[in-house]
Amino acid sequence: MPLVDSGILEDLEEQLDGAELALRFARDYAAMWDQRYRRLALAVENQDRASALDAIISLRITSAMVGGLRLARLAEMLETVIRQGDFGQGQAMMGRVAEHGDRTVSELQANYILKNE
């Protein structure tokens, strides 16, 4: 499974009637990654179920929308863990979330954002 599926970005361009809005969405996604991760990490660390679920669902959906399928799948797994109340396992998964998120954003920037600006 690729970090970023370019076919999904092409579909997003079609759904939004052009590349401009899709590119803006991808740029915003990349720009918000650090903030999104910090919010999730804090909620998991504090064992705040509602905030953690809000953050992880947002991450899962937006990652899938930009083609970040690995990160979306990892977010789905973390969501399941949080719903089960296993914050210890959730905290253990945060390193992988950070790594996949950083790599997803880097690939999105290199292979989509910079190529389309």
Query: What is the C-alpha to C-alpha distance for residues 60 and 108, in angstroms, rounded to an integer?
Result: 16
∠ CA 41-47-50 to the nearest 5 degrees?
90
The stretch 11-18 carries a mean pLDDT of 92
Q: At what angle do helices 87-108 and 69-83 cross, to 10 degrees?
A: 160
Taking the model in full, what pTM does it have?
0.93
Measuring CA to CA, which residue among 65, 48, 59, 61 is closest to residue 101? Answer: 59
Which tokens in the block code for residue 83?
């719903």
116 pLDDT exceeds 90? Answer: no
- pLDDT band at residue 18 under the 50/70/90 scheme: confident
If you search the block for the tokens 């396992």, which residue do you land on? 89
1 pLDDT exceeds 90? Answer: no
pLDDT at 74: 98
107 pLDDT exceeds 90? Answer: yes
pLDDT at 29: 98
Tens digit of each residue's pLDDT (9 = 90 or more) over 47-105: 999 999 999 999 999 999 999 999 999 999 999 999 999 999 999 999 999 999 999 99
Query: What is the C-alpha to C-alpha distance for residues 57 and 75, in angstroms, rounded to an integer?
Result: 7
CB 67 within 8 A of CB 45: no
Which tokens in the block code for residue 10?
């092409």
Ordered by where they begin, the domains of the chain are: 6-116 (1.20.120)
